[in-house]
Structure 1
């Protein structure tokens, strides 16, 4: 997500407000997250409303009143308080405001997973779901089709992953699909994997292996990567027999190619 200066400042204020409302023992972070994402969906459909809420020429209090007149009684007070912050601060564009509300909604959902002890599960499920979708081009095309009805996409996701995903994972996957904005759906899901890892001060290593790793091999790889990078690394593994052997490890923009296919490709480059 790329935001200009005004939007970054407004998002920081909205996230501070979110932290305040979620610190209340009576607030359910999952509910707040779902409600904020429902507002993203509403404003995504209603262009005029989105522009009115983000109109910097209007008084902040007027924008706040507009939001509350539409949503009071329909979503919870904690979610409305976050939207008060969104409405009364300045955004560089209506689209960036929408991105900011989405970021707050995702953060609330990840907070929910963290509080229930399910953050590891959600992170792993997001990674696996991204790999499943990326491995099925027809499925990805269907989910990325901008002309397809939203409810049809939801039904497809729920049919594919019914009872196999944590409710937080399912909500985040649906949101990544509905607002992929021309990027690959896997890119949006991988961003969520990174966000989940960051909550425990970890970086993500995407490891492609020619075969399954044993628990001992997985633990050893994690230990080595922690040592190499000087920080905790969340290791997520996908299997690709086409590598022929070995591993390809991606941490951020860095790639360590120790696969047989990678070594053959390097040898071919040298011979050329």
Structure 2
């Protein structure tokens, strides 16, 4: 399993790196970033598109034809559109979400930014996001972007992941630790 994960992440990083290099050479980095974000939004909205991208049941030609029509309709063209089509031709569509994520990570590194993945039990207010952003920027010395998600199973608190560092202040984790400690005693 870990071999598959590292293979996918390796492929995703190579494709993303090549895309970023080409986008910088041609001066269309912002366009590519925007178009990939739009495509990612389409993936999140449509379970059919997600299935098309991830399922090996469709031939490369079927995937390519469907994506070409979708990209035209969504007005995603140029380098980003060609990139998605290349992934389809090379039977790498299943890695496309990871490629987009890797592209964002590499772009943020070039800009001297970091992205913090924040999971909270309830949606964070704008003031909380701003305060968290400032605190993380101060501790890392870099500009930090927040990618926030909500997971009610946390009960309360936050789980913050920046790069390889993770800070878990969730009530779920604290309760699990307490449960484990009580099992050791009793």
Unpaired stretches in structure 1, ≥5 consecutive residues: 1-95
1:261 corresponds in structure 2 to 172
C-alpha deviations, 1:118-171, integer Å up to 9, x for none? 85x568x379659938xx6x86554223342235435269759x6497976665
1:224 corresponds in structure 2 to 135
Measured after TM superposition, the shift of residue 198 of structure 1 is: 1.7
Q: Secondary structure at the match of 2:28?
A: helix
Task: Say whether the 8 Å CA contact 2:16–2:99 is kept in structure 1.
Answer: no
Q: Secondary structure at the match of 1:199?
A: helix
Measured after TM superposition, the shift of residue 100 of structure 1 is: 6.1
* Greater relative CO, 1 or 2 (CA 8 Å, sep 6+): 2
Counterpart of 2:44 (choices 127, 132, 154) is: 132
2:18 corresponds in structure 1 to 104
Instruction: Check 1:229–1:126 CA distance in 2 against 1; reply closer, same or farther (3 A cut).
Output: farther
1:194 corresponds in structure 2 to 105
What is the alpha-carbon distance in structure 2 between the residues aligned to residue 259 and residue 130 of structure 1?
31
TM-score (norm: length of structure 1):
0.46
1:143 corresponds in structure 2 to 53
Unpaired stretches in structure 2, ≥5 consecutive residues: 1-9
**RMSD value, Cα:** 4.3
User: When you count strand as a share of all residues, which structure comes out higher?
Assistant: 2
What is the alpha-carbon distance in structure 1 between the residues aligned to residue 180 and residue 68 of structure 2?
42
Which deviates further from its counterpart, 176-185 or 253-262?
Answer: 176-185
Could you say which structure has the larger radius of gyration? 1
What is the alpha-carbon distance in structure 2 between the residues aligned to residue 262 and residue 178 of structure 1?
44
C-alpha deviations, 1:85-128, integer Å up to 9, x for none? xxxxxxxxxxx9xx8677333432364133x6x85x568x3796
TM-score (norm: length of structure 2):
0.63
Task: Say whether the 8 Å CA contact 2:155–2:170 is kept in structure 1.
Answer: yes
Instruction: Check 1:101–1:265 CA distance in 2 against 1; reply closer, same or farther (3 A cut).
Output: closer
Task: Say whether the 8 Å CA contact 1:144–1:180 is kept in structure 2.
Answer: no
Task: Say whether the 8 Å CA contact 2:121–2:156 is kept in structure 1.
Answer: yes
The number of residues matched between the two structures is: 169
1:89 corresponds in structure 2 to none
Instruction: Check 1:156–1:166 CA distance in 2 against 1; reply closer, same or farther (3 A cut).
Output: closer
Instruction: Check 1:128–1:262 CA distance in 2 against 1; reply closer, same or farther (3 A cut).
Output: farther
C-alpha deviations, 1:157-208, integer Å up to 9, x for none? 9759x64979766655666677686976543332122022123111221112
Instruction: Check 1:208–1:230 CA distance in 2 against 1; reply closer, same or farther (3 A cut).
Output: same
Measured after TM superposition, the shift of residue 233 of structure 1 is: 1.7
